[in-house]
Structure 1
Amino acid sequence: MLTVQKLRVEYKENPVGLDVRFPRISWQLQSEERDVLQQSYEIEVSVEADFRRILWSSGRVYSEQSAHVELAELLPGSRQRYYYRVRVWDTENRGTEWSEPAFWEMGLLAQEDWQAEWISAPLSLLGVEAERCPLLRGSFQAAAKPLKARMYATALGLYELELNGLRVGDGYLTPGWTSYSQRLQVQAYDITAQIAAGDNAVGAWLGNGWYKGNLAWDNRRHIFGSRTALLMQIHLTYEDGSEQIFATGENWTAAAGPILMSELYHGETYDARLELSGFSQPGYDDSGWSRVELLPHSKEILVAQENVPVRKIDQIKPLNLLKTPAGETVLDMGQNMVGWMQFCLTAPRGQQVELVHFEVLDRDGNVYTDNLRSARQKITYIAKGGGRESYEPRFTFQGFRYVQLTGFGEELSPEDFTGIVLHSDMEHTGSFACSNPLINQLQHNILWGQKGNFVDVPTDCPQRDERLGWTGDAQMFIRTSAYLMNVAPFFSKWLKDLSADQLEHGGVPFVIPDVLGENDHSSAAWGDAAVICPWTLYQCYGDKRILEQQYPSMRGWVEYIRKQGQDEYLWNTGVHFGDWLGLDAKQDSYKGATDTDLIATAFYAYSVQLLQKTADVLGRTDEAKQYMVLYSRIKEAFNREFITPSGRLSVPTQTACVLALMFGLVEGPAKARTTDKLLKLLEESGHHLTTGFVGTPYLNLVLSEAGHMDAAYKLLLQTDYPSWLYQVTKGATTIWEHWDGIKEDGSFWSKNMNSFNHYAYGAIGDFLYRHIAGIELDEAHPGYKEFVIKPQPGGDLTWAAAALETVYGRIRSEWSITSNQMELSVSVPPNTSAALYLPNAGLPRVLEGDVHLEQAIGVHSAEQLEHEVKVMLGSGDYRFIYELGAMS
């Protein structure tokens, strides 16, 4: 039976507050049959859940498209809810029932829809340098119990809202971090259940956050503004169709709250004795509060929430309560995590307790915080007394595994503490496991590195005085991240900020949102995020709109490079990070030995190549031809500059070889010599990598594409320094910034730049999925509409299993080897097809289930290649068994 499932609008399930003018819907097909393809579909839209009156119908559309179907003829209105449903027909002309209805609801679409004013605590109450956080309050009368109630809110700084004594929504660190001068997100909340007939009250907490607080490593504050403020509007709709609006304005009041200090890096200080209990409930006496001040701030920059919200995702109980050799009391959470501690205590009024969060113990087993640099990561709580009380922060987060406790006394119980894991609430889409437990821990570490660093923006690290959206780290990891989670809304929002912060000449700041100096922009491999990230999202999700959205930014970056220096085909000017943290760096240098001109020109070529493909996809034929010519000339210039007449790469480093091969810059004898050189360099290093941030993500991919999977496995399975598994043997639970963050003797690489949660080297996850499990894209059919499954067993692995939830459904690849037999189970979602490659197989010996391939339903064709069998599959679940090496 064929059914339509998992309806989504702009990747989201039943979203409220959308501002996309032409929403796109997606659905998945489910069937127990094989070889299922959609022949046609029909969509209906109504403003009523029972579809008695159809507002819009697509009619029967003959198309296989089931992802990102744009409702181009529908013109949605502000705050209107739309219900939709889908039915499809397969290629046998069998139709489904209508899907279960789903909906989306628009937000405030125009500036004129806003009656609310920006309000701030008066300067006479809290000056711009005051660290104490304000509370705001307003009240209103509802004429009756409303049929529908919506709240739309944002802030300069961070906010939390309460309505009639209860928290509104489950998002944290709202409104998130954007290029605040140009874009500010608005959150929409369904508050129908919280509104009472008659008296109602709203209370707000405001914090500095990214807007006003301390950012980066030189103690800068007020980068975006010096005053926190709130903008909030409530719409009540009654059964008779009448409406009532309540909004922030001059009649609101403000008071200094119990949060004495709140900074993202430094933590929070909270004095429970200063709590103003009940301030968000009706009837509260705010006669002693101050009138708010109105701020003349723009509403033109307001956009609806684009990314998924930051939410509480997991809870972790402490693994152990330690007493260090130095006498410190420390909780070990057992996992390097990001979020905060929730705790309970019973203490006399005025007793102060502190929690200092950090990542590692030193080699003597004592508290180590030097690698946090100036970030304090400290929570200070002052008890109100009178019984058991509990606390968790609001406007800060910490990166930590360990927590030093002071002031709690001797009667400590780990049960009173819970670690709250916080990150953007992205759907988990990927899983990988294999027969090697160290690789499984590595996969765990990659996932937790993504959790910890995808807190509204893709940060470099979540613990020290940095936590910035470094462009290089993002582009290095994006493909891996798209296996692990649905990152399309997350990166789509971040890329809009990249466009907003991109310089007029096309240069790209090192970090997005941009908070560094005016000259901190446009390093090769960092600025290339402007091109690599949109193309990767398009490939992984089939989302053409992302390319349309980002094309001016992509083109701006390429044209910026083109204008640098004397030769438009070489990039040999500017300041670059190079192969950051490469192990072949000179002493006291962070840059690896690979020539930065080679790196810059190689990435220039790659970005031009991707831009040419993007222009092709968008139908910009003339520009596609221009960039095809430009790419060929950059390639020629690269060969003139960096390849000797005999075909030798003039820069003899692992990273130089990797980039030349990965970006297709060498051909023929030069390609063969470059591959041989890479293998020789690996051999000379005892088959260890020397690559840094630039070379590492591509190293194993290049080796496997060149047919040297044995070398790739050797690298992956090394357990001594430097290797991915060295970190695992040292107890890592996330990915480290440095290969030797902790040395063999237990000492540290450095205190200045030594994060133990830094996802860049986690890009090896790409290799696990693409080459070990074998789940790979077909570039010509993005979003996994047609895809490849090509597992490549090796090393000491006896089995591997991976799954990926795509926009069409779940892809699965599981293989195992016992004795001389291989078994491979795969899943191909309905409305897709796959090219399957069975390694070391002979066509006559391959069985699917209990039958030969020519008898198997869903097998469209099978052919013997040199060392493998290629099988074209329709949708369905399959199980292949064959004897290894039996070619006849």
Structure 2
Amino acid sequence: MQAVATVAEVRVGRRGDAALAESPAPVISWQVDSTEPGWMQAVAEVRLDGSRVARLDSDESSMVPWPFADLRPHARHSLEVRVTSKSGTVTPWSSPVELRTVFLDAGEWSAERIGLGGIVADDTPGLLRTEFDLPDRPLSAVLYSAAHGVYQAQVNGHDVDDSVLKPGWTSYQYRTVHDAVDVTDSLHAGRNAIGIRLAGGWWTERYGFGDGATRFYGGPPGVAAHLHVTFEDGTSQVLRTGSGWRSTTRGALRTSGIYAGETWDARQQLPGWSRPGFDDSDWSPARVDGPFETPEPAISEPVRRTELLPVRVVLRSAAGRVLLDFGQNLVGRLRLTVSGPEGHVLRVRHAEVLEDGELATRPLRRASATDEYALAGDGPATLEPEFTFHGFRYAEIEGWPGVFDPDCVQAVVLGSDMRRTGWFETSDPLVNRLHENVVWGMRGNFLSIPMDCPQRDERLGWTGDIQAFGPTAAFLYDCDAFLASWLRDVAREQAAHGGVCPTVVPSVLGPAAPVAGWSDAATVVPDVLHARFGDRAALAEQYPSMCAWVEALLGITGDRLLWEGMFQFGDWLDPVAPPEHPEDGRTDPDLVASAQMIRSLTLVAQAAATLDHEDDRARYAALAERARAAFRAEFVTPAGRMMSDSPTAYALALQLDIVTSAEQRTALARRLLELVRAGGYRMPTGFIGTPLIMDALVDSGAVAAAQRLLLQTENPSWLYAVTMGATTIWERWDSLLEDGSLNPGDMTSFNHYASGAVADWLHRRLAGLAPAAPGYRRLRIAPVPLDGLEFATATLDTRYGRAQSGWRRDGDHIVVQAVVPANTTAQVLLPGSTEAIEVGSGVHEWTTRAPSIARPDAPLTPSTPLSTVIDRPGAYEALLAAAHTVGPDSSARVRQRTRWVPQRSLASVLAEVGISDAIIPQLNRRLEEQA
């Protein structure tokens, strides 16, 4: 049968949800579906508006530079692509993509900032409106709008789009963004009206901790809008915010806050307020603040309602209150459909977990997370907050009129509406739930900015979390535009803080201090966008920011090239750190900081090479090598022992290629395995070490140790939270203690994505799907099967098409399967093999013998080393069972206090918990039964 190829998708710009040109020369991408094995592009043709054709003698099909003259503002075009393969086959023209430009001409923006008139509190929500006449029905009309605060616009009584919390949060003092919404179909000849609902949102929120929280941005919220209307005859009309607009604090929304929640009084609704002819004579003139700085076009997907979840279980609290369990920790709010007497009040509170049968609100700190409604009494009403969001699994409803009906309540899931691109599955249901928890953690925390905890009085853009989680995020969702937008704020904040990337962006916690692993987001995240999306433009745009950060570092470290003596978060939330001091981990913070500096210098050198800045490449590469040498001299013994004897220290030295001597690396790897084993294969790392440790073990040949770490269910571990009912990733390994009580630390979140960075390892190593060239133009298929798993598969929608890698067991063989998209190639490394296989696009399968795994199987004796006991899971479980017969405390002591080292014997543990050596034959019988 003749091979068929078609151009399946044409994309304009970075966003995956619309063909919007945010600049005069947007990048374009396309995918090809082909049944021809090894299909590769030779030539591409791009057709604009059915007539102009640009021929591209290139094999590139992702993020291709715009091949025509610059686009103009307020323009609409159609775009088609066809390609010719290297074998000479030509595809048909693709289906036309209708694109529109969403940027404004230089100097065109002149809208003034307006707000609520009269004497009102800064955080008071309200309404703004105006009316205007059009001589004819418009050919096209676009509403450009921006705000210090949050808003939604209506034209002639209808919301202009389905976005929420517009326009999102940016570093307002340095950068604002505008929406560009097509409102053509909402306008007509004659009288029209625009209305705007406005609240403070992030602009009026108080930031900080405890009693130290204060307003960061000054003054009340404001909004600016610019309506551009074009008619059939080519003329245009522009309406802008300014004098002549009217405002009121009346309306159903009475109070609004990100942390506090909202108060509504349905009796104060104003029907028809955004339609022409509404009587606004009792409204006040809108406050006019003067020019609103020229905003940029928004490049990221907006926040939207992405899913509705029903009530899973209705509970009664210990105090008799109605509690709703949605079965999933989520970010959003409740939608209620309710009927009751006029003035009747409903109160809704939210929390992530329950404690003693009630909402656990202590982790919320000063965030009240409460919504309140007064009913109008005019029949069934649908109620939903508008300018706030909550992090919760449970909700308490107080004051429901009549018999409660769970079908009248839904949880509305909110998040930046990015396209899902990555999936993973394995044979272990606990690992699958772990991966699903990672997905939900990202969904909740990627809301306008990459947040860290969506439930408490924080919800800030912590840079340390995203530098750890970036590769995972780039697989699960098409977050290129989302993170490229946030990086623009990073660059602006750095420019204002001497090159230092703050620990939170937008920076609202005071002066920015340099902190290792957090400030390094300035170099790490741009590298992720280039490596995972092939976004060279983002790398180029952020390159000055990357350089600024390392130059600030060089000013700190001086000629020693060691980052010493400053405050650091270190290996934040190392499980041995006390609850009240999560920075007090086992790894020297100076070691962490100096290693992170090496990482940033290396990334900047790599970026300079990609961008053809040869002088910079040579300089930063040389500095990185000098810093490596300084690190080795300071922190590594000649015998290959880290001065800070922790798993994170060894993982940093190995995975950042700080130690290059083969002999020392072998010693480091051996010691890393010893430490992981001595800890009983429970997680020994915090924010810095967690993304590295699995790779460090596997690259050192300790695959069995990586398996034990991944599949561990004891505390601390990834699966411990799963066994405790988690549906998102926790901030602490033990946010919930083993007895079901809350961690006593003041900082306890049940929706924090940083430790979910393990999902990147699941995708790249366990299933074996990794990029071998930027943007997956070339794949690396190299799965690492783990004992105890029957299969694993990762699927990714790359810019070139769907890629897949996976494996399954077939007796004593491993079957590896791969899907390679058209116009890409793959390097395949089968389990147990050192010889790479090169393949082109298509579906591939290989069968190889499963790697043999050495397992200790000698009978246990009193002198059996504890390292051997822990390496025999059955022996360990039998020992725990024997200790439990003495008492639960004895079992806990074995788990929590034992160091599983070769220098200690089984007899020593038995003696410590009061068990006679006579138990050993019983242990051996249990092992024989398990075998």
TM range (shorter): over 0.9
Between Structure 1 and Structure 2, which shows a larger proportion of helix residues?
2
Q: Does 1:767 align with 2:761?
A: yes
Deviation of residue 35 (structure 1)? 0.7
Please give the residue correspondences for 1:614-633 in structure 2 after superposition, counting only pairs within 5 Å.
Answer: 614-633=607-626
Deviation of residue 117 (structure 1)? 2.2
Deviation of residue 42 (structure 1)? 1.3
Kindly provide the amino acid, as one letter, of the partner of residue 117 in structure 2. Answer: P
Cα distance between partner residues in 1 of 2:463 and 2:17: 31
In structure 2, the residue matched to 1:19 is: 22
In structure 1, the residue matched to 2:78 is: 83
Deviation of residue 832 (structure 1)? 0.1
In structure 2, the residue matched to 1:67 is: 62
Equivalent residue in structure 2 for 1:725, among 715, 719, 726:
719
Kindly provide the amino acid, as one letter, of the partner of residue 28 in structure 2. Answer: I
- In structure 2, the CA distance between the partners of 1:763 and 1:35, relative to structure 1 (3 Å rule), is same
Q: Does 1:241 align with 2:244?
A: no
Equivalent residue in structure 1 for 2:94, among 94, 99, 105:
99
Contact persistence 1:352–1:383 (CA under 8 A): yes
Please give the residue correspondences for 1:352-501 in structure 2 after superposition, counting only pairs within 5 Å.
Answer: 352-362=345-355, 364-501=356-493
Contact persistence 2:224–2:292 (CA under 8 A): no
User: For residues 634-687 of structure 1, what are the alpha-carbon distances to aligned partners after superposition, in whole Å with 9 as ceiling and x for unaligned?
Assistant: 011001101123332111011111111110111222211111111111111111
In structure 2, the residue matched to 1:575 is: 567
Contact persistence 2:345–2:372 (CA under 8 A): yes
In structure 2, the residue matched to 1:852 is: none
Deviation of residue 574 (structure 1)? 2.0
In structure 2, the residue matched to 1:343 is: 336
| Further displaced range: 724-733 or 235-244 | 235-244
Deviation of residue 308 (structure 1)? 0.6
In structure 1, the residue matched to 2:38 is: 35
Q: Does 1:156 align with 2:148?
A: yes
Q: How many matched pairs?
A: 844
- In structure 2, the CA distance between the partners of 1:872 and 1:251, relative to structure 1 (3 Å rule), is same
Q: Does 1:543 align with 2:535?
A: yes
User: For residues 575-619 of structure 1, what are the alpha-carbon distances to aligned partners after superposition, in whole Å with 9 as ceiling and x for unaligned?
Assistant: 111111112336742121211110011000011111111100010
- In structure 2, the CA distance between the partners of 1:879 and 1:657, relative to structure 1 (3 Å rule), is same
Contact persistence 2:329–2:727 (CA under 8 A): yes
Cα distance between partner residues in 2 of 1:638 and 1:650: 11
Structure 2: runs of 5+ lacking an equivalent: 853-931
Equivalent residue in structure 2 for 1:642, among 635, 643, 647:
635
Q: Does 1:593 align with 2:586?
A: yes
Kindly provide the amino acid, as one letter, of the partner of residue 693 in structure 1. Answer: F
Equivalent residue in structure 2 for 1:872, among 838, 848, 856:
838
- In structure 2, the CA distance between the partners of 1:587 and 1:498, relative to structure 1 (3 Å rule), is closer
Kindly provide the amino acid, as one letter, of the partner of residue 380 in structure 2. Answer: R
- In structure 1, the residue corresponding to 2:556 is in which secondary structure? coil
In structure 2, the residue matched to 1:145 is: 137
- In structure 1, the residue corresponding to 2:799 is in which secondary structure? coil
Cα distance between partner residues in 1 of 2:281 and 2:215: 31
Cα distance between partner residues in 1 of 2:290 and 2:579: 53
- In structure 2, the CA distance between the partners of 1:69 and 1:17, relative to structure 1 (3 Å rule), is closer
- In structure 2, the residue corresponding to 1:480 is in which secondary structure? helix
User: For residues 540-594 of structure 1, what are the alpha-carbon distances to aligned partners after superposition, in whole Å with 9 as ceiling and x for unaligned?
Assistant: 0111111110011101111111111454411113211111111233674212121
Q: What TM-score do the two structures reach when normalised by structure 2?
A: 0.89
Kindly provide the amino acid, as one letter, of the partner of residue 746 in structure 1. Answer: G
Cα distance between partner residues in 2 of 1:133 and 1:443: 40
- In structure 2, the CA distance between the partners of 1:571 and 1:115, relative to structure 1 (3 Å rule), is closer
In structure 2, the residue matched to 1:854 is: none
| Further displaced range: 250-259 or 307-316 | 250-259
Deviation of residue 698 (structure 1)? 0.8
Cα distance between partner residues in 1 of 2:15 and 2:503: 30
Cα distance between partner residues in 2 of 1:536 and 1:625: 22
In structure 1, the residue matched to 2:301 is: 308
Kindly provide the amino acid, as one letter, of the partner of residue 875 in structure 1. Answer: S
Kindly provide the amino acid, as one letter, of the partner of residue 841 in structure 2. Answer: S
Kindly provide the amino acid, as one letter, of the partner of residue 570 in structure 2. Answer: G
Percent of aligned positions with the same letter in both sequences?
38
Please give the residue correspondences for 1:843-862 in structure 2 after superposition, counting only pairs within 5 Å.
Answer: none
| Further displaced range: 339-348 or 322-331 | 322-331
Deviation of residue 450 (structure 1)? 0.1
In structure 1, the residue matched to 2:895 is: none
Contact persistence 1:431–1:802 (CA under 8 A): yes
Contact persistence 1:151–1:233 (CA under 8 A): yes
Equivalent residue in structure 1 for 2:126, among 121, 134, 141:
134
Deviation of residue 242 (structure 1)? 2.0
In structure 2, the residue matched to 1:715 is: 709
Deviation of residue 410 (structure 1)? 4.7
Kindly provide the amino acid, as one letter, of the partner of residue 58 in structure 1. Answer: A
Equivalent residue in structure 1 for 2:54, among 58, 61, 77:
58
| Further displaced range: 15-24 or 65-74 | 15-24
User: For residues 17-49 of structure 1, what are the alpha-carbon distances to aligned partners after superposition, in whole Å with 9 as ceiling and x for unaligned?
Assistant: 643232110001111221100011111223xxx
Deviation of residue 223 (structure 1)? 1.8
Q: Does 1:820 align with 2:815?
A: no
User: For residues 226-257 of structure 1, what are the alpha-carbon distances to aligned partners after superposition, in whole Å with 9 as ceiling and x for unaligned?
Assistant: 12122112222222222222222211100113
Deviation of residue 821 (structure 1)? 3.0
TM-align CA RMSD: 1.6
In structure 1, the residue matched to 2:888 is: none
In structure 2, the residue matched to 1:10 is: 13
Contact persistence 1:473–1:759 (CA under 8 A): yes
Kindly provide the amino acid, as one letter, of the partner of residue 881 in structure 1. Answer: T
- In structure 1, the residue corresponding to 2:100 is in which secondary structure? strand
| Further displaced range: 244-253 or 695-704 | 244-253
Kindly provide the amino acid, as one letter, of the partner of residue 34 in structure 1. Answer: P
Q: Does 1:742 align with 2:745?
A: no
Cα distance between partner residues in 2 of 1:790 and 1:330: 47
Deviation of residue 209 (structure 1)? 0.8
In structure 2, the residue matched to 1:688 is: 682
Q: Does 1:293 align with 2:277?
A: no
- In structure 2, the residue corresponding to 1:701 is in which secondary structure? helix
Contact persistence 1:149–1:235 (CA under 8 A): yes
Structure 1: runs of 5+ lacking an equivalent: 841-866
Contact persistence 1:507–1:556 (CA under 8 A): yes
In structure 2, the residue matched to 1:516 is: 509
Contact persistence 1:318–1:419 (CA under 8 A): yes
Please give the residue correspondences for 1:788-827 in structure 2 after superposition, counting only pairs within 5 Å.
Answer: 788-827=780-819
In structure 1, the residue matched to 2:694 is: 700
- In structure 2, the residue corresponding to 1:670 is in which secondary structure? helix
User: For residues 83-102 of structure 1, what are the alpha-carbon distances to aligned partners after superposition, in whole Å with 9 as ceiling and x for unaligned?
Assistant: 22111110012211211111
Equivalent residue in structure 2 for 1:556, among 539, 548, 560:
548
Q: What TM-score do the two structures reach when normalised by structure 1?
A: 0.93
Cα distance between partner residues in 2 of 1:264 and 1:786: 44
Deviation of residue 320 (structure 1)? 0.8
Deviation of residue 445 (structure 1)? 0.2
- In structure 2, the CA distance between the partners of 1:330 and 1:791, relative to structure 1 (3 Å rule), is same
Q: Does 1:608 align with 2:611?
A: no
In structure 2, the residue matched to 1:254 is: 247
| Further displaced range: 442-451 or 191-200 | 191-200
Cα distance between partner residues in 2 of 1:654 and 1:611: 26
Kindly provide the amino acid, as one letter, of the partner of residue 815 in structure 2. Answer: E
Contact persistence 1:734–1:757 (CA under 8 A): yes
- In structure 2, the CA distance between the partners of 1:88 and 1:587, relative to structure 1 (3 Å rule), is closer
- In structure 2, the CA distance between the partners of 1:565 and 1:615, relative to structure 1 (3 Å rule), is closer
